Amino acid sequence: MRYGSLENFLAEGRAALVKGPVAMIFVEDLVEVESTIRYHRDLGFVQLVVFAPSEVALDGEVEDRVHRVDYNVTADGGFDRVVNAVIEAAPEIWLYYCYNAEYLFFPFCETRSIGEMLEFHESERRGAMLAYVVDAYAGDLERFPDAVCPDAAWMDKSGYYALGRPDPATGQPRERQLDFFGGLRWRFEEHVPPDRRKIDRIALFRAKPGLQLRADHTFSDEEYNTYACPWHHNLTAAIVSFRTAKALKSNPGSKYDIRTFRWHNSVPVDWTSQQLLDLGLIEPGQWF
User: pLDDT tens-digit profile of 177-213?
Assistant: 999 999 999 999 999 999 999 999 999 999 999 999 9
Residues 6+ apart with CB under 8 A from 282: 105, 106, 107, 132, 235, 236, 237, 238, 273, 276
What's the confidence (pLDDT) of residue 1? 87
Q: Which amino acid would we find at residue 185?
A: R
What's the confidence (pLDDT) of residue 40? 97
What's the confidence (pLDDT) of residue 134? 98
Contact of 206 with 221, CB cutoff 8 Å: no
How would you classify the pairing of strands 67-70 and 128-138? unpaired
Q: Which domains does the chain have, with CATH numbers?
A: 1-100 (3.40.50), 102-288 (no CATH)
What's the confidence (pLDDT) of residue 171? 87
**pTM to 2 decimals?**
0.96
Among 4, 77, 97, CA closest to 13: 4
What's the confidence (pLDDT) of residue 63? 79
Among 68, 35, 36, 37, CA closest to 53: 68
What's the confidence (pLDDT) of residue 277? 97
Q: Which residues pair with 213 in a beta bridge?
A: 219
Point out the residues of the chain with pLDDT beneath 70.
none
DSSP state for residue 219 in the 8-state scheme: B
What's the confidence (pLDDT) of residue 230? 92
Mean pLDDT computed over every residue of the chain: 95
Q: For the chain, how far is it from start to end, CA to CA, in angstroms? A: 38
What are the Cα distances from residue 181, in Å, to 51, 195, 282? 28, 11, 15
What percent of the residues of the chain are helix, what percent strand, and what percent coil, each to the nearest 5?
Answer: 30, 25, 45
Strands of the chain, DSSP E: 2-3, 22-26, 47-52, 67-70, 94-99, 102-105, 128-138, 153-156, 161-166, 173-181, 200-206, 237-241, 266-268
Q: How far apart are CA 249 and CA 127, in angstroms?
A: 36
What's the confidence (pLDDT) of residue 14? 87
Return the number of other C-beta atoms located less than 10 Å from residue 2's C-beta: 15
